[in-house]
Amino acid sequence: MRQALTIPKIKAMKAAGKPIAMLTAYDYPSAMLAEEAGVDMILIGDSLGNVVLGYETTLPVTLDDMIYHTRAVVRGAPGTMIVTDMPFATYRLGPEETLRNAARIMREGGAHAVKMEGGADLAEEIRRLTSAGIPVIGHLGLTPQSVHQIGGYKVQGKDRWEAERLLEDAKALEQAGVFAIVLELVTEPLAAAVTKSVRVPTIGIGAGQSCDGQVLVYHDLIRYGSGIRDKRFVKTYANVGETIRTAISEYVNDVKTRSFPEDKHGFPLDDELTKASASSSRLYGGETK
Ligand code: KIV
């Protein structure tokens, strides 16, 4: 069986110039397919709120939701490094509460690491987790849990002040002990600058070509019910949503026109059973005493 990558191996990929392929997954079959396809890390993103649970934002996603989905993913991809997002506000009530919540994700969910959105302001929490043996990935740029504060899903780091702050945050995250940093929707030059300035790998989504790895949302990659917003940074590799819709409408039509089930889908009685039943059972039209 394939072995999950370790943190030192993930870090070494940056040094060796080997790109890291990360993908989100939220359930058993998606995780199984991701592992079979060779992804390096699976992220149970709180994007599950949008693409699986149908919320407008990631804010309603709970710790129990994350743990429930993490367990399914771990069963589907036992040979892959599994990272789980800490959901909204579960790491903002101090280092001890953060440790309690992250420990539940590891112990009950079976994740190998957690991811948190934020910069230098999370240094204490990151130190607390890493000193307790919980590996952490940072997340900078567009941080969807702060969508109301940011004012929408916009590219970050466009002006100099914002860019300098993000660079400082990346250094602070590294200093605090993260083993990788997700950069979401930041300008290409800023992503390049961050990637050069830290020794831990950067994993981009909408952050251009210079990151050490890339991450995409599963449902975007295969267009599985996720075509609501057109996202320029997504490459769609298959249109599974269309395939599923066509299959289901054919099924509905077959049922309505009585084309399904056909004879071959049913279970005829075998001859011996028919004879035995005919003589003894009212069910099959035989006489009863
Ligand atoms: O929740 C998520 O899926 C994420 C990725 C977009 C990085 O955080």
Reported as a single tens digit per residue, the pLDDT across 42-51 is 999 999 999 9
Average pLDDT over residues 218-239: 86
Q: Can you give the pLDDT at residue 20?
A: 98
Establish whether 262 is a catalytic residue: no
Looking at domain 7-221, its CATH class is alpha beta
Per-residue confidence (pLDDT) for residue 269, from 0 to 100: 86
Minimum-distance ligand 1 atom for the alpha carbon of 182: 7
What does the pLDDT look like over 167-194, one tens digit per residue? 999 999 999 999 999 999 999 999 999 9
Residue whose CA is closest, atom 1 of ligand 1?
Answer: 45
E strands, the chain, are 20-24, 41-44, 81-85, 113-117, 136-141, 180-184, 202-205, 213-216
Q: Is the pLDDT of residue 271 over 80?
A: no
Q: Is the CB of 220 under 6 A from ligand 1?
A: no
Position with higher pLDDT, 277 vs 142:
142
Across 16-27, average pLDDT = 98
Which among 174, 184, 250, 272 is annotated as catalytic? 184
Beta bridge partners of 75: none
Cα–Cα distances (Å) from 289 to 37, 141, 277, 282, in that order, read 63, 81, 13, 10
Does 84 have pLDDT greater than 60?
Answer: yes
* pTM for this entry: 0.92
CA–centroid distance, residue 259 to ligand 1 (Å)? 43
Give the residue whose CA is nearest to atom 5 of ligand 1: 45
- Residue 159 pLDDT > 80, yes or no? yes
Q: How close is the Cα of 216 to the center of ligand 1, in Å?
A: 8
- For the chain, the domains span 7-221, 244-284
